[in-house]
Every structure is written in C-alpha cells, then in structure tokens.
Amino acid sequence: MNKTKKSLAFFLLLSSIILPLLPAITVAQEDTHVFKHAASALPDEWDPAVTDWYNIIWGSYGVYATEELIGLNAAYTSGTTGPIEDEWIGVLATDWNLTRRVEEPNDSDFNNTGGIESAVFKLREGVTFHDGSDWNATVAKWNIDRINLVAGNYTGLCEVTADNEAEGNLMHTIVLEDYKPYWSDNWNMTAEGYDSPNLGTSPPATLPSVTDYAWYNLGDNASLVDYGDAVNALILPNNTIRNPAPYGGWDYVSGAAIHYAPYDRYPIINRVEIMDNKQSGGTIRVFYNQWTVSGLTGGVNHPMISYHSYRKNYTTRGIYGYENGVDDPRNAGPVTHMIGTGAYTYVEHDETGTPAGGYMLKFEDYWNKTALEAEGWFDVDRFEIINFPTGSLGEDAKNTAMLTHAIDFAYDSMYMPLDYDAVQAESRIRYESTGPTTYKTNIVLNSINETWWAWPWADGWRQGFYPLAGSEPAGGVPRALRKSMGYAFNYDLMIHTVLNDRAVRGGGVIGAQNIYFNETLDDPEYLAYYNVTKAREILLTTETDPLLFNISTPTPHAPNPLYNAGYPYGDHNAVSLNPDNYNFS
C-alpha cells in the first residue's frame, strides 16, 4: 500500500451553520495538478446503506466517488420559497415529474397538504460507473430497493446485533402510531394493513406473527433486477418480501419486545417501478406510502453504487471498511470500495500515514468531463486529503497549513474554525461565505431534574430493541410550556461562543407554499430571545392546560428524589406545573 505523505481533507458538517469556503490558488506540479483538502474526522463506513454520514471516509471520499439522482445546492430552501422540484438540480436524473396527493381533511380536522404520491425520474444517458458498467433504470431500482432491504432487514439476512447497529436500523420506516391522528380518506396506513397489535409492557401471551410485521414491495417488474444474495429470502408470489423470523423475544430490562423487522411501522417507499428499461438511462417511478413533501425520502436520493460489482454479495448486507483489496471479515471477501459514477475514483485512506489521509484520482470517463473542461473546470488530477485531529492542536495545525499554502481548501466550521482575521489578511486566499444549511439543530433543554440521571435506563436502546415508542406529537405538550422553552435558551451564547459565530437562527420549518405558512416566524421581531424571567412567568399563565406532561419515558416511574420534578409521562399521569421544579437554570 502506498503511504500518503501529504493529503487533504474535507468534511460535510450537516448543521445549522454558515459554511464559508477557503480555496487558495492551486499550483500545478509538473504535469499533474494536485489539490490538497483539509478534514477533521474519524474513519467509518462509506456504504450508503450503513454509513453514519459523519466520518472522513464518506465526507471526504464518498461524496466525490458517488452521485445521487438530484443535486441540492447551498441555497436550497426545502420548498420554502416555491415548488420544491424547481430547486432540484439534475445529476443522475435529467427530468422529473411529481404527482401530488389530494388535499383533504384528516382525522384531526385540518387539511393534509403538499403530499407527493409518486415521482417519475428520467435517468441520464451515457453515464458509466468506475468499473465500466452502465447507469440505468435497473441499477437505480436496485439501489433504492437495497437501501430499504438493509435498513428494514426485510430479508432476515442482515446482522442485527448489539455490536452492529448499522443493518436493520429501521431507517426509511415510519412509526405508524405517530401518524394515526392524520389519516384521511385517501391516505391511511392502518387500512393498508401496517397497524400491528400493541404488545404492551409485559411479554405477550400471543406472540406476534410474521404477518404482523411490515413488508417491502419489490414491485411488478422485480424480475428485471438480479437481487443477488436476496435469493435466499422469503419473496412471496406478489413480489413482497418479509423477514421469516422477525420476533426476537422480550427484553425485561427495557420492558419491550425485541424486533428484527419493522413492527407497527411502514416503509416510506411503497415500490419502485421501471417504466423504460434501457442499457443506458431509462425511467423509473417511485410510489410513496408516506405523506412525503420532499419527494426524495426513503432512500430515493441516496448515492448510487455499482450494481455490477456489488449486487451478488451485498444486496442484503452492508459493505464495510475502506481498504481496497483487504479481506474485512464483515464482508464476503476483498472489496474494491466506492465504485460509483463520481468525478474521482477512490484509491486509499491511511490512518497510519504522516499525516493521516489519502487520495483519489480523476475519473477520465466521467460523464460530465467535457462540459466541465469547457468551462475551465475539472483540471485536478489527484485529489488529496489531509486529516487534522480535532481539538486545539489540530485547529492550529490546519490554520498554519492554510496560511502557509500547504493545503488548498478548508471549511471554516463551527467546531474547527479558521483564524478569520488572518485568513482575510492573506491576499492569496479567497474566503467565500455560503448561506446557512437547511439542516436545523434540535435543542433539548433539561429542567432542574436531570432527566438522564433520574431515568438513565430510558435513554438506553440498542439495535433490534426499538421502537420502544414513537415520538409524541407536540400537540400533547401544553402550549405554555412550549412557549416558555423558547425563552429558556441562550441563543447568543450558543451562536457566538459555542459555535464561533458559525450559525444563524433557524426560523420556521413550513414551506412558503403551505397554506399554514406563517411568515412572521422568520421575522426577528417575533423570534424568542433569552429571558429566564419571562420563561418562568409564562409557566404560571392559564392560557392553556396548567398540567405538565413529561414525555421522557413510556411508563410511570418515581425517579431519584435528588432530581425529582414529578412523574414521567405514562397513561397521562399529570403533575401540577410548579416553576420551582422547572426553573431552566
């Protein structure tokens, strides 16, 4: 294995931050153009079916080796400024058409709006993978189906254990109970058969059967796809696929069943159909179970990998590791990693290098090469990654490398910021500020009773044990409590000190086209600000239900008195709202 002496890195931080870029002028080295990129992250899996996305292997290599159907640029607003499909950028798809659901009242007496029933994608022609195989409708369908088969363990062939939390993680499935209040005449997953018996908090007298668990629909033209190692799975005559042994027994510590397939859940995707099957390109149509408003959920817009190289052994399992040609015991044998359609092919990443890092090489058969070169782009032949350790030492080293032009590019991130003043003073560095990302950070406030210390077991879960319970609708929490929490958080401290001024206030989350859109939520005049006194005063108002429902755990429990502020939520066990117990200190 070649040892990389100089590398470069880049890591995508999906957070509500401003991500300025810092590219310096790239200098040609003889006839080979080398570009050095800084990163700060640990290695982990790259495979879209099992990655956590927050690692250097995916963030610095996988994003350049693979591509998705649709591109979303830095100005993407998730449909808050207009129809969502107008913001899409065609990558492996060139055209698309969305069929929307009928707007109709739900069981909670307001209208369901903006739902997408299906999406048609016309695929780009003339695209090849790094192994020379074609990109087409068969490949697209296999990729989307594979993501769902691994996440839901519908085949029963995944490795679902306490040591492997990647496969069977229930991604791309929805807890049915969360959406029951919103069923409508034409959208009702209970009527579709996904509603499972409530097992309660004690071992059930009647064990759940295979048919109590969700299934995945391979569709009417499943025969057009070679599902490789899924041949040993339970594929029914109607082309649905089910885990033959989904019930894993009872966990007496958590007081819940162990499930090895989605229970009382339904997959976001209903099925993927091939409409036009061609050697290169073609057309697919994706049907949704979920009332989706994005059109890209359920694994539809995950990075696409080579059907030719991976279908035989990895249709039902994840691909692990990142060392090419190395026999990782978790794989079926030695693997060539990250075979995608992207502009660069992955060669190596070496954590033992000095410094740690790796490199990729230009993919000469890249489908967009000619167009990019005509615009003066795509002249980097070797793309190097340098992995700086997180912390103050790594931060200083990255700053020095940028200011001395030892690297060409680095993100000025909230946790590894660059020296802004020094960078701005250097004439040979161009600092570019992008808009904030669309990802919004959830803020969780603990009251004076430290919830985790009071009920540590309630936070515990492992692969196969959940869903212990679904998320509780915000409507179940008193409005006074919700309002007071808005004033109980120090936004300025978080943004300016903790996040080094690399963040902005999030605003609302409902799209501008939605009939419930409220533009005042993005108006600074109406934004909550840090005021503990006001937060406490709101808790004493009688504008809404004066009882507090703590939704931290599924069953009543008397916590340690040292941390006690009342009983957790369970069968609506309510406690009087006492501001002394909820002082947001």
Cβ–Cβ under 8 Å, residues 541 and 481: no
- Does residue 503 fall inside a structural domain? no
Q: Quick check: 102 pLDDT over 60?
A: yes
Q: Quick check: 315 pLDDT over 70?
A: yes
| Rounded percentage of the chain residues whose pLDDT exceeds 70 | 76
Q: How far is CA 289 from CA 191, 295, 460, 510, in A?
A: 12, 11, 30, 21
102 and 222 co-located in one domain: yes
| Domain finish residue from 425, 443, 467 | 425
- Does residue 483 fall inside a structural domain? yes
E-only strand ranges, 66-208: 70-71, 89-90, 93-100, 104-105, 111-112, 116-123, 173-175
- Does residue 444 fall inside a structural domain? no
52 and 90 co-located in one domain: no
pLDDT at position 217 is 98
50 and 110 co-located in one domain: no
Output phi, psi for 116, to 5 deg.
Answer: -110, 125
368 and 485 co-located in one domain: no
CB atoms within 10 A of CB 96: 17
pLDDT at position 10 is 27
CB atoms within 10 A of CB 288: 23
- Does residue 8 fall inside a structural domain? no
Question: Which of 73-87, 217-231, 382-396, 423-437 is least confident?
Answer: 73-87
What is d(CA 67, CA 373) in angstroms, rounded to the nearest whole number? 19
147 and 187 co-located in one domain: yes
Position 383 confidence tier, pLDDT thresholds 50, 70, 90:
very high
Position 427 confidence tier, pLDDT thresholds 50, 70, 90:
very high
127 and 58 co-located in one domain: no
- Does residue 333 fall inside a structural domain? no
Position 17 confidence tier, pLDDT thresholds 50, 70, 90:
very low
| 553-475-512 Cα angle (round to 5) | 125
Position 447 confidence tier, pLDDT thresholds 50, 70, 90:
low
Task: Locate 145 and state its tokens.
Answer: 């189906």
181 and 208 co-located in one domain: yes
| Rounded percentage of the chain residues whose pLDDT exceeds 90 | 57
The whole domain housing 567 covers 451-489+530-576
150 and 291 co-located in one domain: yes
**DSSP states of 188-202 as a string?**
-TTTTT-PPPP-TTS
User: Of the spans 74-78, 160-164, 198-202, 385-389, which averages the highest pLDDT?
Assistant: 385-389
- Does residue 228 fall inside a structural domain? yes
- What dihedral angle (degrees, nearest 10) is formed by the CA atoms of 569, 575, 576, 580? -80
148 and 280 co-located in one domain: yes
Residue 375, domain CATH: 3.40.190
Cβ–Cβ under 8 Å, residues 204 and 257: yes
Task: Locate 234 and state its tokens.
Answer: 């339970």
Q: In terms of Cα–Cα distance, which of 132, 125, 134, 138 is closest to 93?
A: 125
408 and 462 co-located in one domain: no
- Does residue 524 fall inside a structural domain? no
| Domain finish residue from 263, 290, 312 | 312
Determine the average pLDDT of the residues in 467-496: 69
> Would you call 228 helix, strand, or coil by DSSP?
helix
> How many domains in the chain?
3
Task: Locate 575 and state its tokens.
Answer: 């406690």
234 and 302 co-located in one domain: yes
What is d(CA 426, CA 424) in angstroms, rounded to the nearest whole number? 5
175 and 291 co-located in one domain: yes
- Does residue 97 fall inside a structural domain? yes
